[in-house]
Amino acid sequence: MSLADSLQYFTEENSADVVCARMQAAKNERLANVMESAVRHLHAFVKEVEPTIEEWEQAIGFLTDTGKMCDDKRQEWILLSDVLGVSMLVDTINTRRPSGATENTVLGPFHVEGVPEREMGDTVSEDGKGEEVYVSGKVTDIDGNPIEGAIIDTWQASHDGYYDNQQPDIQPEHNLRGIFRTRADGTYNYRAILPCSYGIPDDGPVGVILRGLSRGSMRPAHLHYIVSAPGYETVTTHYFVKGDPVLEDDAVFGVKESLIADFEQHDDSSLARKLGVSNPFRSVEANFRPCRRRAEVTLPPRALGQKKRFGGFICTAPAIKLSAYLNDAKHKQREKHGITRNRKRCGGLYAAQSGR
């Protein structure tokens, strides 16, 4: 009997081989590779777990409910990916950087477009609530050279843990959001408020799984940033508040040690006056070191047109050049119109139905 014949009928032993054999005519090589890997891992998983029919039905029900929870305001699939650590893994694989460069972390669902560019030193608070934080820092390359005109797009939750788009009837639009542009020496400063830890939406199937696993649904307090500059990789990251009790139990695994910062406490009226904040206040230094676009640092000219392992994918050099070009185009758009999305996660996701 030939190999093809022996693979014709499905058995417990050859299950993955039989399914994968049917994909051999696929024209899209990447699709075929990804699906073969998915099928092999999935079959191995089923063989290890040996689900009962009832358990399989429960799993299908869970996936169905997850899909039903998705609309233009809420994306339960992404939330599921977040709490399983898959979002962070994909992000980490796609943002491998030289040491010294600022690390990326999850974008999250609450980023929005159309945020106003604010004057240096302005507050991002539109409602005046919360403990003031003087945020300052510098954007440099990894050798410490200042980057002028870098765009810092920041957003954060309120003092009681909600983004403005989760509370459209309570918080003013664009509360705790802003865009700033660095000075010639790479520095910037603005006024924020002290964020607090908050719960991710847990009123859907993801919440059921988290509770079933006795897992927490909290995220430690953080400020969000997207920092972009022409010629540099865009950094999507957070600064976390040192000492937050859930730093080691972030529901979405977004914490990296290099992103934990001291939000120092001050009770000093003359310093407060000098910095333009109300006393007492906090301060935090949030520096960013984007690295040069990968196309420039990793690909010698002779690689042009050759296939090269790059950021976990096999790309040709022209493809990388295109992505570098798009990166610059995005920065220019941000400069012109304020903010634009850099990923396809719509602002306000989870907002209306967060149920918190």
Contact residues for ligand BEZ, defined by CB under 6 A: 82, 106, 108-110, 200, 219, 252
Give residues with Cβ within 8 angstroms of 207, minimum separation 6. 201, 217
- Token pair of 294, please? 């990968």
Instruction: Name residue, tokens 């006795």.
Output: 214
Give the CB-nearest residue to Fe ion.
108
The DSSP bridge pattern shows strands 307-310 and 313-316 to be antiparallel
H/E run at residue 77: helix 76-83
Contact 219, 251 (CB under 8 A): yes
In whole angstroms, the minimum distance from the beta carbon of 17 to Fe ion comes to 44
The option from ligand BEZ, Fe ion, none interacting with 69 (CB < 5 to 8 A, set by class) reads: none
Name which of 206 and 275 has its Cβ closer to ligand BEZ. Answer: 206
**Is the Cβ of residue 200 or residue 339 nearer to ligand BEZ in the bound state?**
200
Closest residue (Cβ) to ligand BEZ? Answer: 108
Between 106 and 133, whose beta carbon lies closer to ligand BEZ? Answer: 106
Cβ closest to ligand BEZ, residue 186 vs residue 254: 254
CB of 162 to ligand BEZ, least distance (A): 11
Least Å from the CB of residue 312 to ligand BEZ: 21
Region of 352 please: left (phi>0), alpha (psi -120 to 50) or beta: alpha
> Closer to ligand BEZ at the Cβ: 82 or 244?
82
Name which of ligand BEZ, Fe ion, none residue 252 binds, using a CB cut-off of 5 to 8 Å depending on partner kind. ligand BEZ
Residue among 109 and 137 whose Cβ is closer to ligand BEZ: 109
Rounded CA separation 133/115 (Å)? 20
Check if the beta carbon of residue 231 is closer than 8 Å to that of residue 328.
yes
User: Which of ligand BEZ, Fe ion, none binds 106 (CB below 5-8 Å, type-dependent)?
Assistant: ligand BEZ
Could you tell me if 293 and 232 are in contact, meaning their C-beta atoms sit under 8 angstroms apart? yes
The H or E element spanning position 227 is strand 222-228
Q: How far is the CB of 40 from ligand BEZ (least distance, A)?
A: 29
Closest separation between CB of residue 106 and ligand BEZ, Å?
Answer: 5
Q: How far is the CB of 206 from ligand BEZ (least distance, A)?
A: 10
User: Out of Fe ion, ligand BEZ, none, which partner does residue 76 contact, by CB within 5 to 8 A per kind?
Assistant: none
Yes or no: say if 165 and 129 are a contact pair by the CB < 8 Å rule: no
Q: How would you classify the pairing of strands 281-285 and 132-138?
A: parallel
Chain contacts with Fe ion (rule: CB under 5 A): 108
Helices (H), 225-312: 269-275, 294-298
Report the residue number, 140 or 342, with the smaller CB distance to ligand BEZ. Answer: 342
Nearest to 226 by CA among 282, 279, 151: 151
Give the one entry of ligand BEZ, Fe ion, none that residue 207 binds, where binding means its C-beta sits below a cut-off of 5 to 8 angstroms depending on kind. Answer: none
CB of 74 to ligand BEZ, least distance (A): 11
Q: Find where tokens 């090589």 sit.
A: 29
